[in-house]
Amino acid sequence: MRRRRFIQSAVAGGFAAGIPLWSGAAEDNCQYLTMEWYRCRRDLDVQRLRDFLGNSLVPAANRAGVKTVGAFQTSIGPDSPSILLIAHYPSMAAIQEAAAKLAQDEKYMSDQAALDEKWELAYERREASLLRTFKSMSGLEVPKIEAGKTNVFELRLYESRNMLGHTKKVAMFDHGEIDIFRRTGINPVFFGSTVFGPRMPNLVYMVSFPSLEARGEAWGKFGQDPEWKKISTVPGSTDRELVSSISNQILTPLPFSQVR
């Protein structure tokens, strides 16, 4: 029984073992982010999933050495009310070490088995991606927050037709675009290139705002920024040439999120 539960949990948990690992490109000390989506429907027992994530998975991840776990629910976007977990790791080895510790965490293993074995579904499916952080922003920045309030978060996905366009777009962010974000009130949380995941090649980033109104103002300032207009119109660096599709979602942090 213990062996069966171990296999179930290892297969089921993105933090534990659900993300393919690779050893390439480790020499440059790059860092990594995991993104794990729990796709839900309103007719499912989503509260049971929230309870499991907040009471079991996030504390277990912290015990396993994952310092910060962001937990968000879709406010505007597909598959609402889906839940997204974000975690930061300094290396591939750190991902593997955390997975090994989670596999030995008896409370987490028991709670995971109880979630999966109950007949009523708590979520419809799980999707996981591995991101490699940008050179200019290698970590996960926890935004400032006003007392008694929560920030508004925006998750954006930029798909490219090929790796050449993807690489050029990443370079634009690394060499000026992220700085313009900060100057115009768009607060970076993370930036990463997808190593494993759907719709590749792509980059994913998250930004935050004090409110939806502040979001609108900041994007307006960004669009009119002289430096942005300059770098975005250089032949070979326009979005039309480098990006084939852009999609975004508005997210709300859950009460147990360590990024708020």
**Where is the domain boundary, 133, 163, 178?**
133
Residues 165 and 89 in one domain: no
Residues 66 and 123 in one domain: yes
Other beta carbons within 10 angstroms of residue 163's beta carbon come to 11
Domain encompassing residue 61:
2-133
Using CA atoms, how far residue 228 sits from 186, 198, 254, in Å, is 13, 29, 33
Q: Structure tokens of 39?
A: 């796709």
Query: Would you state the pLDDT for residue 16?
Result: 44
Backbone angles phi, psi at 167, to 5 degrees: -65, -40
Residues 207 and 106 in one domain: no
259 is a domain residue: no
Per-residue pLDDT of the chain (260 residues; tens, 9 = 90+): 444 443 344 333 445 434 433 333 444 668 999 999 999 988 888 999 999 999 999 999 999 999 999 999 999 988 788 999 999 999 999 999 999 999 999 999 999 999 988 867 889 999 999 999 999 999 899 998 888 889 999 999 999 999 999 999 999 999 999 999 999 999 999 999 999 999 999 999 999 999 999 999 999 999 999 999 999 999 999 999 999 999 999 999 999 999 99
Residue recorded with tokens 């030995």? 104
Query: Would you state the pLDDT for residue 41?
Result: 83
Residues 209 and 246 in one domain: yes
Please report, in angstroms and rounded to a whole number, the separation of the first and last CA atoms in the chain. Answer: 39
10 is a domain residue: yes
Query: Would you state the pLDDT for residue 1?
Result: 45
CA dihedral sign of residues 20, 50, 193, 99: negative
Residues 196 and 98 in one domain: no
Q: How far apart are CA 137 and CA 146, in angstroms?
A: 24
Residues 109 and 14 in one domain: yes
**Where is the domain boundary, 103, 133, 163?**
133
Residues 9 and 109 in one domain: yes
Q: What is the pTM of this model?
A: 0.88
Residues 15 and 119 in one domain: yes
Helical ranges in 126-177 per DSSP H: 163-172
**Where is the domain boundary, 75, 104, 133?**
133
Q: How far apart are CA 206 and CA 187, in angstroms?
A: 9
Q: Are 61 and 69 in contact (CB under 8 A)?
A: yes
Residues 18 and 105 in one domain: yes
Query: Would you state the pLDDT for residue 132?
Result: 96
Query: Would you state the pLDDT for residue 28?
Result: 60
Q: Structure tokens of 27?
A: 């020499």
Contacts of 46 (CB under 8 A, 6+ apart): 40, 81, 83, 122, 123
Total domains in the fold of the chain: 2
Any idea what the CATH number is for the domain that residue 102 is in?
Answer: 3.30.70.100
Q: How far apart are CA 146 and CA 9, in angstroms?
A: 38
Q: How far apart are CA 58 and CA 257, in angstroms?
A: 8
CA dihedral sign of residues 95, 67, 59, 46: negative
Residues 63 and 165 in one domain: no
Residues 127 and 162 in one domain: no
Residues 126 and 160 in one domain: no
